Structures are given as structure tokens and as C-alpha cells.
Structure 1
Amino acid sequence: MSHFKQTDNYKISVAGAGAIGVTLAARLLIGGYRVSLIARGANLAAIQKDGIRLLDNEGDHRLKIDAGTPSDYPVQDLVFLCPKSQDLPALAAAVQPLIGPNTMIVPVINGIPWWYFDGRDGRWNGPQIGSVDPDGALKELLPSPQIIGTTTLITAERIQPGVVKTFNPLQMTIGELDGRVSDRVERLGAILQQAGIATRVTQHIRDSVWTKVVRNLVSNPVTAITGASLRENFSDNNLAAISEQMLHEVLPVIAAYGARLEIDPETIMTAGRSMGDVKTSMLQDLERGSPLELASICDAVIELADAHGISMPVTQAITALARYKSLSGNQAQAA
């Protein structure tokens, strides 16, 4: 991996001050980088007043950070986008002042990404995935040649604005959409490593995407319905059987698109159990009354399955139940 000095004059922004955004911004600061954090509303006011705080395996980090809105900053060299997937179109529009023709764009999101079919076979304008980019806005706002594909294994929980805890190892996988190992992807890998995030560069980013999607698919919507932690979900025979059925339903979809899981299916089940009493991000969102990431984690997978005539009855049923739970929960809060 190429050497990258933390003293280099490199402009980095993290857009989105949720659990992942604050974790990433804090670790970059700890690594010695100058970082701006893009936030809004009460979240921004709290961070400007008190800074950010990260509780992780290395300790309790209280950090001052330059926080503001996109119009407060010039074009950046590197922009991390850290929203919930359904919030990405609005964030992509908002961060346009930060993005120039050479800006490296790193979307740190869950689910099937809108760029999935771009950068393959020399084509940068592959088919749209309607579940995640119905009107093509993301392709227009975030040019695919500037994107580095990313998946994360970071379980973090936002306690209050600007305050996040995470006690599992921080891991990321990154890769060019066209499979090259470029200078810029190596530079990004060096930045993340310096920040204390174990980072792997891959030539097969879609394999990594599917591996993360499967982890989320077989746990997030089930726990949103049941309220179970990851340990409870994968330790209970009934719940684990549902997750395992969903796992077997998605395997032919992955194969149909010429991809593969990076780990064997059984490891996904046992790894979920070993995460402990951690609430999935979808369960956290449900408890806060926030929208669930069903479009990118569930609907997009079902859309890709339908395109190949692959049936996913259990996944469709669990998705429908999670959507009902989300809508009824939000209606109750509104009342």
C-alpha cells in the first residue's frame, strides 16, 4: 500500500453525523487528519458547541471538530457520504459544493448501491436499480468514475448528537468499481489504516457488497420485527431458522450476477451470534421512529431476484412485516 503522510495538505469531509459518520470523523481526527464534519439542525449546533465523542476499544475520545454545512467549505479532495441509504439523494444534492472533477467520493452506505452496474466492461452507465435510484438522480449527482466502492463492518450506536459508542473492531473494504488497484484507492486505504480502521483493498468490490448485504438482510428486518439483539436472533432456533432461510434464498441471486460471498454462509450465522447483545441499525432506527433502510437492504435484492425469475418468499414476507412495523410505529409516534 502506498505511503501517505498525515501531514499532507489533504481536504477531507465527512458528510452525515450519525453513528458511522461520527465514528469515521473521530478516527480520522485521531489519525492526525484535518476533517470537516457536515451536519445540520440541532445535530450541527450540538457538535459545534461540544465537539464529538467516540467510545471505542481504544478509549473515550472527546474531540473538537470543524463542523458546518457544505457551503462553508471549498471543493474537497475526499468526501465520505455517511447517511442512511434513503437519505442519500438529499445529501448528494446538498454536498455538491464539496465535489469537484477530481474529488474522490466514498459512499459509506448499507445495501445494494445504485452504482452496482457501473464501471464494468468499460461502461459507466449501467442499468438503474429502481429501488435505490428510481429517477437516476444519484448517477447524475455522484459521477461513478469518481466513486470508490466501500463496505463497512462497524457496529456503532449514536447515544446523543455527536456521541457514539462502538466496541467491536472497525473494518472497511474498499475498491474501484472497475476492479483496478489504483493509486487513489491505495491512498484511501492508507488514510483509513492511519485512522485505526482495518482496511482491505479488493479488486472484487461487488463480492464485498453482497457479503455485507447478506449480513444485513438476514438480521436487520428480522430484529426490527422482534426487537431481538444479534445474539438473541442467531441463538434462538426459530429466529435463526428464518434468517437461514433468507440466506439460502439470496445465494442464487448472488450467483446470477456473477458474484460470490467472501465467507461461507455458516460463518455469517455464527458471526452474527458472536456480535453479542448489539442492536442492528434497523432496530435502532425503529426505536427512534426513523425510516428503515428497507429499500436498499431488502427491496433492491428482491428487485434483482425478480429480474432473473428467482423467488424469495420468506424474504418478501419478512420485508412486508418490517415495513408494516415501521409504518405503524411511525403512525403511533405521530399520534
Structure 2
Amino acid sequence: MRICIVGAGAVGGVLGFRLATAGHAVSLVARGAHLAAIRRDGLGHLGRDGVLRRATGVRAVDRAGEAGPQDLVVLAAKAHQIPALAPDLPALLQADTPVVALQNGIPWWYFHDHGGRLAGTRLESVDPGGIVSRHIEGRRVVGSVAWGAYDIPEPGVVRGGDTPRDRFPLGEPDGSASPRLAAIARTFEDAGIRAPILPDIRAEKWFKAWGNAALNPIGALTHATLGQMHDFPAANALARALMAEVEAVAHSVGVAFPVSLEERLASSGALGAVRTSTHQDVEAGRRLEIDALVGVVGEIGRLTGTATPRLDALYACCRLLDHVMAEGGLRIVAQPTA
């Protein structure tokens, strides 16, 4: 099968490695030093056993259009990167090519085939001016969520995806058990990627966003790990209040969570010295995916009349941080004083 991974960073790289070593014709859309290293040495995966393995048959490009028509597209770029990528994506798409969308937060396609009173609503936070939905038809989307910890220890090498908790649930926006959904899940599972099929992928997106919307911006602003946020009383109280706002917005669009807020917060704290992805982006000087994690929750809150004052305040702070970093070409890294 011809499979293109658009955004072959940490998560996309792990998927690309698994699919390539399973025998698929994989194209990777990457950039910078990571792209150069893949072109030179192939895509490496550093396992938990400390062994570096490489997939040398992958094709690495810096623009999606160079990869040509595909049987499956995995959109693994971060949500804020997609508007710039969107015009190139139709070159990958045949008549029935599905697009597996992995983005954190609440996605641009959220109200496609939703069925509620907001069905068809475009979310400006994640689809500015409609640029994404114009280039990726809603009918192509298969929703997914990336669970697990993934990183790039060095250019051309990815790590993650090899623990029991790592998984990529899949679901159709309309909740159907479609033949294409079964085929994608089988392709993933045959490549060693856990991909359970869910009847309500939106609920899974919200469940992950429940923690991300609160904890990612706190991590970005304070450089605290998940364990530190959990153990510091004031931060724990703030996270709890933010998560209560997220839960209220989720409830306003018909989503209920399977565990209590306290259980969800404790499970994040138990990860200990893990840095949130947005914290990592601050340290690397990358643009922040704050719109999809926080801004869109406030936007849906306004559509449903659900107040999100704490989320809105944190969103403003993170937008300012993103602006300051971009304007100054900065990365902000915690350094020891001695």
C-alpha cells in the first residue's frame, strides 16, 4: 500500500517506521535536519531495548505534493501547521483516499457528520477562513488519537510506540463501522500499531483534550513537569478548575467522560517527570499548538453558551508567549543557576 505520513516528526515517524518495516511503500513529509538525516540514513527507531533499527526504503520529501497519489494519508502534523500544508494535500488524494487525522485537541472536522444543532459549523480556531476544509473533504477523514510518549532524540531517529499504553484508536466521524475503517485498523495492527476501532472518536478526542487543554499551557508557561504540576497544590487546584471548564464544554456538545476529573488528573500526575508537548515546543523554539488545545474549547464554549474564563486567560498568555517567541526567534529553556 502507498502510504504518506504528512508531518513525520515523533508520532508520524513512529507510524512511518512501523508501516515501512511491514512492507508498505511509505513516503514521509518532513523538514530541516530531520528530513536531511532520513534522506541520508533512512528513518531510525530507538527501541526501549536501546537498539537502533532503521527503515531504509522510505521516501522523504519536504512537500506533500512531491509524494504523488496515495492509497492512505496519515496527517500527523500539528493542528496549527495544517493550514499552510492544506493546499498541497489534494495532490496526494485519489478518488477514495482516506485521511487519518491524528491532531491533538479538537479538530477542524469536529462538526462534520456531527448530527447535532451545530452540524456543519466551521471552527475558526483550527480552520481559519475554511482553508483546511476546502482542501480536505470531510468525507475523507478518519479520526484518531495518539496515546503515548514520542520524541526525536536526534535528527532522523524517533522513539516511542513500543509500550503497552501506546495506541492509536480510530473512528469514523459518523460513528459507522465502515469497510475502510476496518481496513485501516488491520493495516495498522499488522504493522504492530495498536489501533482499536471506537464508535465515538469525538469522545476520545475530548478525553485526551481534557488533560491537554489544562496541563499543556501550564507546562509551557512554567516549565513544570506533569508530576510537579500534580504535586504543587496551587497548580493542582488550577488544573482542576481548568479541567472543570473543559468538561462543561464537552457536556455542552453531548460528550460525557468515563472517569472522574480526579482520576484523570491523577493519571497525568502519575507520569512524573514527563514534559507536555507544548512545554517541549517552547524549549525547542517551535510554534505552539495552543489554538487546537485551548482556543477551540473556548470557541465551542461561546457557541454553546458555556463560560471558560480561566481557559481564556491561559489562552491569552500562551498566545502572547507564542508571539514573543516567533517575533524574537526565541526558544526558552530552563537553565540551572549554578
Q: TM-score, normalised by structure 1?
A: 0.90
Aligned-residue CA RMSD (Å):
2.2
1:118 aligned partner: 112
1:293 corresponds, among 281, 289, 294, to 289
**Cα distance, 1:252–1:125 mapped onto 2, change above 3 Å:** closer
Q: 1:57, CA displacement in angstroms?
A: 3.4
Structure 2 equivalent of residue 280 of structure 1: 276
Tell me which residue corresponds to 1:3.
none
Structure 2 residue corresponding to 1:19, chosen from 2, 10, 32: 10
Partner of 1:131: 125
> 3-state DSSP class of the match of 1:200?
coil
Q: Is the 8 A contact 2:4 2:74 kept in 1?
A: yes
Which range moved further: 314-323 or 209-218? 314-323
Determine if contact 1:16/1:82 at 8 Å carries over to the other structure.
Answer: yes
In structure 1, the residue matched to 2:60 is: 67
- Quote the Cα distance in structure 2 between the aligned partners of 1:24 and 1:212: 19
- Report the Cα distance in structure 2 between the residues aligned to 1:86 and 1:70, rounded to whole angstroms: 16
Q: CA deviation at 1:149?
A: 0.9
Alignment identity in percent? 32
Report the count of equivalent residues.
Answer: 326
Q: Which amino acid aligns with 1:34?
A: A
Question: 1 CA distance for matches of 2:209 and 2:271?
Answer: 17
List structure 1 segments (4+ residues) > 6 angstroms apart after TM superposition: 122-125
Q: 1:120 to 1:270 in 2, by over 3 A?
A: same
In structure 2, relative to structure 1, the CA distance for the partners of 1:99 and 1:295 (3 Å cut) is same
Which residue of structure 1 aligns with residue 84 of structure 2? 90
Closer/same/farther in 2, CA of residues 307 and 72 from structure 1, 3 Å limit: closer
Unaligned runs of 5+ in 1: 1-9
Q: Which moved more, 1:35-44 or 1:300-309?
A: 35-44
Structure 2 unmatched ranges of 5 or more? 332-338
SS at match of 1:159: strand
Q: Aligned in 2, Cα 1:200/1:124: closer, same or farther, shift over 3 Å?
A: farther
For the structure 1 residues 60 and 45, does the alpha-carbon distance in structure 2 shift closer, same or farther, using more than 3 Å as the test?
closer
CA contact (8 A) 2:5 2:74 kept: yes
Shift in Å at residue 259 of structure 1?
1.4
Report matched runs for 1:3-82 at 5 Å: 10-57=1-48, 59-64=51-56, 65-68=58-61, 69-82=63-76
Q: Distance in 2 between matches of 1:334 and 1:153?
A: 29
Distance 1:27 1:175 in 2: 20
Distance 1:125 1:304, change over 3 A: closer
User: CA 1:186/1:37 → structure 2, altered by over 3 Å: closer, same or farther?
Assistant: same
